[in-house]
Amino acid sequence: MPRPRSLTHDQIAAAALAVIDRDGPAGLSMRAVGSELRMSTMALYRYVRDREQLEGLVVAGVLASAELATPPEAPWTERLTLLVERVRAAVAAHPSVVPLLLLHRHDSAASLAWGEAMLGVLTEAGFSGVQRVVAFRALLSYLIGALQVEHLGPLSGTGTVAIAGLPSADYPHLAATARDARSVPPEQEFGQGLAILLRGLECGPQPR
């Protein structure tokens, strides 16, 4: 197969993302990306060392589309909401990337830049030390967990239907909640869940 004279990591990330969008994370391999780029597997090794680096490039490419600037005059809770929702929007176009987010949050420049922006807002809001750590981890945990349940276990899925059909005599709360859940769109689930978390953070850093 013909090989491009040179490749950038952005080009490789785009090819790897195309493979994941089409075949899911399990379909990602050096061979598959090489084929997408119309080059041999061995030639691709000139640019990336292994599948793990390919995964990191994919995560970086997806997250790089999330804008980091927020209105400095806006309340800090609104600024955090913007930063979190922009990542959700970036991932929504490529839901197969969700399982890779937690694995590669440390080796992606885009992920690190997003974390720096989040921590900057938290710092301006008065969080520091351990409380800043906990607040940031709470927001990160919510974001990644919410993306996982939205794309891997959505309320519109068969699991919700199955739980809604459970006998109310045995599972009154589960069955009733699942019936209500079927009418909740993903945007409402994500937005209201984030709002609950931010209202808790609005109570302010707790004494150390």
CATH number at residue 74: 1.10.357.10
Q: How far apart are CA 55 and CA 104, in angstroms?
A: 7
What does the pLDDT read at residue 102?
Answer: 84
Neighbour count for residue 84 (Cβ, 10 Å): 23
Q: Coil, helix or strand for 196?
A: helix
- Each residue's pLDDT tens digit in the chain (208 positions)? 454 458 899 999 999 999 999 999 999 999 999 999 999 999 999 999 999 999 999 999 999 999 999 999 999 999 999 999 999 999 998 999 998 988 888 887 888 999 999 999 999 999 999 999 999 999 999 999 999 999 888 898 999 999 999 999 999 999 999 999 989 999 999 999 999 999 999 886 554 4
Return all residues near 38 (Cβ < 8 A) that are at least 6 apart: 1, 2, 3, 4
Q: How far apart are CA 32 and CA 175, in angstroms?
A: 44
The distance of Cα 118 from the centroid of its chain, to the nearest Å, equals 14
Same domain, 43 and 73: no
Assess if residue 157 is contained within a domain. Answer: yes
Question: In this structure, are 88 and 166 located in the same domain?
Answer: yes
Residue 76 lies inside a defined structural domain of this protein: yes
